[in-house]
Amino acid sequence: MESSSSQRLPFWLESLLSETFFNACMVHEDAKKNEKNIFCLDCCEAICHHCLHLHNSHRLLQIRRYVYHDVIRVGDAEKLMDCSYVQAYTTNSAKVVFLNPRPQTRACRNSSNNCISCERGLQDPYLFCSISCKINQIMRNNGLMSEYLHKCEVLTLPEPGSDDWFMTPDSVFEPSVDRLTIACTATTEIVRKKRTSKFEISLEAREANITEAREANIPSVLETIGNRRKGMPRRSPFN
C-alpha cells in the first residue's frame, strides 16, 4: 500500500512518523492508563493497551518516550528497516532510536559531526539523529525505500513486566561522553561533596561536636558556621 504523497514511502511508515502518541485514547477515555503508546502496522493507527483485544493477530510496535520524544527499540526498528548510522541511545538498559528529529533552540556549536538532514550534533560515526532524518535523505537522493525496508510479517509486544512501557526523561546517552563533560561533572561532584561536608551535617552530630570542642576548650569550626552572627555595632570615637 503506497502513500499518494510519496510513491516510494509505505503508508504504514508515513503514518508511524506522522502519528501523535501518548494522547488519551478516545475509545477508552474513562479508563486508567489509556495513553496511545502502541502502533498497529496493519491498521496504521495508534492504540492503547485496552484496544489490544481488537488487534491480536496484527503487527504491533511499542512506542516509548525519551527526553519527551517518541522512540522505539533498536531491536524492533531493525526488524522493519535498515537503521545503520542512526544514533542510538540507552535508556532503562534498552537501546532506542528517535522516530523524528528533536527541535533545536540554538545552533549547534563546537560539533565536528552533525546530522546530514537537520544539523543536530552527533557522536561519531553516526550520520542521522532519527529515522525520519535518514528517510528524508534517502528521498532527497531519489533512493528507493524498498532497499532499506525489511519484510516483517510478525511483530509482537514485549511480555508484560519484562519491559517498561514508559521511558523516563532521566535516562543516559548510549555514546561515550567527551572529556569536557566528564571534567565538568567531576568538578560538580567535588563542589557538592564540599558543600555536603560543611552544611548538610545532621543537627545531632553538630551539637555533639560543639559539646566535645567546648569540653576540650578547642574552637569549633562547626560552632562558628552554625552560629555565624555579626557583632554589636560600635560607633567610632570622635576626634
Place of cell 557538592: 192
> At 219, is the pLDDT very low, low, confident or very high (cuts 50, 70, 90)?
very low
The predicted structure's pLDDT at residue 92: 84
- Least Cα distance to 124 among 108, 110, 113, 139 occurs for 113
Domain boundaries, the chain: 11-176, 181-226
Other beta carbons less than 10 A from residue 37's beta carbon: 22
pLDDT in tens, 97-142: 999 999 886 655 666 899 999 989 999 999 999 999 999 999 888 7
Q: Which letter does DSSP use for residue 111 in this model?
A: -
> At 159, is the pLDDT very low, low, confident or very high (cuts 50, 70, 90)?
confident
Angle between the N-to-C axes of helices 131-140 and 11-18, in degrees from 0 to 180, rounded to the nearest 10 = 130
The predicted structure's pLDDT at residue 207: 60
Mean pLDDT computed over 90-98: 92
pLDDT in tens, 162-208: 555 444 444 444 443 333 333 333 334 444 444 444 444 445 555 65
What residues contact 97, with CB distance under 8 A and at least 6 apart?
A: 71, 72, 74, 77, 83, 86, 87, 88, 89, 130, 131
Taking a C-beta distance cutoff of 8 angstroms, is the pair 34, 50 a contact? Answer: yes
CA torsion, points 64, 69, 75, 81, in degrees to nearest 10?
130
Cross-strand pairs, 145: none
10 Å CB burial of residue 95 (0-12, 13-18, 19+) is middle
Alpha carbons 179 and 195: distance in angstroms, whole number? 24
Where is average pLDDT lowest: 65-79, 83-97, 175-189? 175-189
> At 143, is the pLDDT very low, low, confident or very high (cuts 50, 70, 90)?
confident
